Structure 1
Amino acid sequence: MSEIERKRSARTRKLARIPLGIAGRAAVGYGKKLAGGDKGEINAQLSAKAADQLFAVLGELKGGAMKFGQALSVMEAAIPDEFAEPYRDALTKLQAEAPPMPTKTVHRVLDQQLGTKWRERFKSFDDTPTASASIGQVHRAVWSDGRDVAVKVQYPGADEALKADLKTLGRFANLMASVMPGTDVKPVLAELNARMEEELDYRIEANNQRAFAKVLDGDPDFAVPKVVASAPKVVVTEWMTGTPLSKVIKHGTVEERNRAGRLFALFAFSSPARVGLLHCDPHPGNFMLLDDGRLGVIDFGACAPMPNGLPPALGRMVRLASEERFDELIDLLQNNNFVLAGKTVTDREIDEYLRPFTDPIKSESFHFTRSWLQKVAGTAADFNSSQFKTARSLNLPPEYLMIFRVLLGGVGIGAQLDAEAEYMKILAEWLPGFNEPEDDDDDRARVLP
Structure 2
Amino acid sequence: MSAPSKPPASPRGKAVPSSRLSRLWHLGMATGSLAAGLGTKGLMEISRRQPSQRGPIELAPAQMRRFTERLAQMRGAVMKMGQLMSMDGSDLLSPEIAEILGTLRHDAEPMPLGQLAATLKNAYGKGWESGFVQMQLQPIAAASIGQVHRVKTADGRELALKIQFPGVRRSIDSDIRNLRFLLTTFPLLPRDLDIAPMLEEARLMLHRETDYGAEADAMRRYADRVGTHEHLRVPRPHEDLTTPEILAMDFLQGESVERVMQQGAERQHRDLIAQLLVELSFRELFEFGLVQTDPNFANYLYDRPTRRLSLLDFGAAQSVEAQWVECYRQLARAARADDRAGIREGCEALGYIDAHTPREDANEMIDLLRLSGEPVRQSGAYDFGQSDLFERVYYRGRELFMDNRFRRTPVPGTLFLHRKFMGTFMLCRKLRASVDIHGMLEPYL
Aligned residue number for residue 422 of structure 1: 436
Task: Write the mapping of 1:121-132 to structure 2, written as runs, cut at 5 A.
Answer: 121-132=131-142
Q: Give the equivalent residue in structure 2 for 1:321.
A: 335
Residue 195, structure 1, aligned to residue 205, structure 2: yes
Give 1:172 shift.
2.6
- Partners of 1:365 and 1:423 within 8 A in 2: yes
Instruction: Name 1:169's counterpart in structure 2.
Output: 179
Counterpart of 1:365 in structure 2 is 381
Q: CA deviation at 1:79?
A: 5.3
- 1:246 equivalent in alignment to 2:258: yes
Q: Are positions 1:258 and 2:267 aligned together?
A: no
SS for the counterpart of 1:278 is strand
Q: Cα distance, 1:308 vs. partner?
A: 4.8
Q: Is the 8 A contact 1:246 1:285 kept in 2?
A: yes
* Counterpart position of 1:101: 111
Cα distance in structure 1, aligned partners of 2:347 and 2:85: 27
Runs of 5+ unmatched residues, structure 1: 31-42, 179-184, 436-449
Structure 1 position 297, deviation (Å): 0.5
Aligned partner of residue 16 in structure 2, secondary structure? coil
Aligned residue for 1:241, secondary structure, equals: coil
Structure 1 vs Structure 2: percent identity of aligned residues?
A: 22
379 and 276 in structure 1: CA distance in 2 versus 1, 3 angstrom threshold: closer
Q: Do structure 1's residue 61 and structure 2's residue 70 form an aligned pair? A: no
Distance 1:18 1:187 in 2: 25
Report the Cα distance in structure 2 between the residues aligned to 1:333 and 1:368, rounded to whole angstroms. 25
- 1:152 and 1:234 in contact (8 A); partners too: yes
1:110/1:116 contact within 8 Å kept = no
Q: Does the residue aligned with 1:98 lie in a helix, a strand or coil?
A: coil
- Does the C-alpha gap of structure 1 residues 51 and 2 become closer, same or farther in structure 2, counting only changes over 3 Å? closer
With normalisation by structure 1, the TM-score equals 0.82
Are 1:7 and 2:19 an aligned pair? yes
Quote the Cα distance in structure 2 between the aligned partners of 1:177 and 1:228. Answer: 47
CA distance in 1, matches of 2:342, 2:32: 47
**Structure-1 separation of matches of 2:167 and 2:181:** 22
Is the CA contact (8 Å cut-off) linking 1:3 and 1:102 kept in structure 2?
yes
- The AA in structure 1 aligned to 2:148 is V
Partner in structure 1 of residue 31 of structure 2 = 19
What is the letter of the counterpart of residue 410 of structure 1?
T
1:110 is aligned to: 120
Q: Deviations over 1:150-169 (max 9, x none)?
A: 00111111112332222212
Q: Deviations over 1:52-93 (max 9, x none)?
A: 12221111111112111122223x22452xx34233212321
2:96 to 78, 81, 86: 86
Cα pair 1:272 1:307 within 8 Å, conserved: no
Residue 191 of structure 2 corresponds to none
Number of the residue aligned with 2:6: none
2:245 paired residue number: 233
Structure 1 segments of 4+ aligned residues over 6 angstroms from their partners: 174-178, 185-188
Residue 377 in structure 1 maps to residue 405 in structure 2: no
**Would the alpha carbon gap of residues 4 and 109 (structure 1) be closer, same or farther in structure 2, given more than 3 Å must change?**
same
- Asked if residue 399 in structure 1 is aligned to residue 409 in structure 2, the reply is no
Task: Rate the CA distance shift 1:329–1:254 in 2: closer, same or farther, 3 A.
Answer: same
Question: Which whole-Å CA distance do the structure 1 matches of 2:28 and 2:350 have between them?
Answer: 39
Q: How does 1:298-377 map to 2 (within 5 A)?
A: 298-306=312-320, 308=322, 311-334=325-348, 337-345=351-359, 348-355=363-370, 357-363=372-378, 364-369=380-385, 371-377=388-394
Decide whether aligned partners of structure 1 residues 237 and 193 sit closer, same or farther in structure 2, where only a CA change above 3 A counts: same
CA–CA distance in structure 2, aligned partners of residues 300 and 324 of structure 1: 34
- What's the secondary structure of 2:247's corresponding residue? strand
Range with bigger deviation, 256-265 or 296-305: 256-265
Partners of 2:186 and 2:291 in 1: how far apart?
28
* Per-residue deviation, 1:270: 0.6
1:223 aligned residue: 233
Tell me how far apart the structure 1 counterparts of residues 186 and 303 of structure 2 sit (CA, whole Å).
Answer: 36
For residues 321-373 of structure 1, what are the alpha-carbon distances to aligned partners after superposition, in whole Å with 9 as ceiling and x for unaligned? 34332234324543564424511445752343114641111212212247321
Q: Residue 160 of structure 1 aligns with which residue?
A: 170
**Take 2:165 and 2:104, find their aligned partners in 1: how far apart are those partners?**
16
Shift of residue 376 of structure 1?
1.4
- Looking at structure 2, the residues matched to 213 and 309 of structure 1 have their Cα atoms a distance apart, in angstroms, of 24
With the length of structure 2 as denominator, give the TM-score of the two structures: 0.83
8 A contact 2:20–2:174 mirrored in 1: yes
Root-mean-square deviation (CA, aligned residues, Å) is: 2.9
Determine the C-alpha separation between the residues in 1 that align with 2:40 and 2:282. 48
Do the aligned residues in 2 keep the contact of 1:283 with 1:413 (CA within 8 Å)? Answer: no
Taking a change above 3 Å as real, the CA distance of residues 195 and 189 of structure 1, as seen in their structure-2 partners, is same
Deviation string, structure 1 residues 355-408 (Cα, Å, up to 9, x no partner):
4641111212212247321121112111488xx66533x441123222212111
1:192–1:227: structure 2 CA closer, same or farther, 3 Å change rule?
A: same
